[in-house]
Amino acid sequence: MNGTSHENVTVIKSRAVEYLLLKLRNRSTGTEEFQKIGDRLMRILGEEALCRLPTVKQGKVETPCGAVTGPVDTPGPPVCIVSIPRSGDILQEAVRNICPGLSVGKILIQRDESSEDKTPKLYYKKLPKDICSSFVILVDPMLATAGSAIRAIEVLKESGVKTENIMFLNLICCPEGLQAMAKSYPEIHIITGCVDSHLNEDKYIVPGLGDYGDRYYGTV
């Protein structure tokens, strides 16, 4: 996996993800198309995360014609979906469309693009009161330095969430971000659409797709 040592990483193997992601990556893809394709892609990521919750275990179902085994839901803690706006909100909405009624949290962290190391700054948080007894899916499509994700995990910890009850769902990551996550939180399961090559001098993912939020919301 591109030289990273993080073992707790699942890279989704899906031709649909590869196909849609390549359209997003294309610099010629305009805002409207980016939104349509991005929303289709986020829905696939959402499904891939939900079928990997720790409560999904091997089980058996009876079909009208026989029996079959595979991943089935088992009882467990409530699931809370927490986003890092803006881009994380897009993925959060996709998961909410699949599973309406999930509890929702927001941790607004933005990279300070004027700082050399793109320091993450926390502006706002709103989490459900019972989050400490929930399983949390933290969502953000981009993992670059991992500063934003690690800051968000600190906020979740301060709210009583155990890190083994956190999953991080992401579209594009890079070895630098995975290594930072592995150093701080090796126990957190990361589900991602792909691992790109590296970060450039501005800490943008290469080849990446540019700034997800700017391209989706047309603020380029």
Q: To the nearest whole angstrom, how small is the minimum distance from the Cβ of residue 74 to ligand URA?
A: 36
* Distance in Å, CB of 199 to ligand URA, minimum: 8
Using rule CB under 6 A, residue 154 touches ligand PRP: no
- Residue closer to ligand URA, measured from CB, 143 or 153: 143
Residue 154: which of ligand URA, ligand PRP, none does it interact with, CB under 5 to 8 A by kind? Answer: none
Among positions 193-212, residues that touch ligand PRP (CB under 6 A) are 203, 211-212
Q: In whole angstroms, give the CA distance from residue 83 to residue 142.
A: 12
Among residues 38, 46, 193, 213, the one that binds ligand PRP under rule CB under 6 A: 213
Exactly one of 38, 46, 105, 120 binds ligand PRP (CB under 6 A); that residue is 120
| Nearest 10 degrees: Cα torsion 55, 58, 60, 65 | 120
- Which among 179, 155, 153 has a CA at the least distance from the CA of 166? 153
For ligand PRP, the closer CB: 71 or 118: 118
Site string for ligand URA, 188-217 (x = CB under 6 A): ----------------xx--x--xxx----
* Minimal distance, residue 2 CB to ligand URA, in Å: 15
Q: How far is CA 109 from the centre of its chain?
A: 15
For residues 188 and 15, the answer to whether their CB atoms sit within 8 Å is no
Backbone angles phi, psi at 184, to 5 degrees: -85, -45
Classify strands 103-111 and 79-83 as parallel, antiparallel or unpaired: parallel
Q: Which does 148 bind (CB under 5 to 8 A by kind): ligand URA, ligand PRP, none?
A: ligand PRP
Q: Specify burial of residue 148 (Cβ count, 10 A radius: 0-12, 13-18, 19+).
A: buried
Position 156 contacts ligand PRP (CB under 6 A): no
Q: Are 12 and 193 in contact (CB under 8 A)?
A: yes
**142 near ligand URA, rule: CB under 6 A:** yes
E strands in 94-206: 103-111, 120-126, 135-139, 166-173, 189-195, 198-199, 205-206
Pairing of strands 135-139, 166-173: parallel
Whichever of 38 and 213 has its CB closer to ligand URA, that residue is 213
Check binding of 147 to ligand URA (CB under 6 A): no
User: Rule CB under 6 A: which residues touch ligand PRP?
Assistant: 84, 86-87, 110-111, 118, 120, 140, 142-149, 177, 203, 211-214
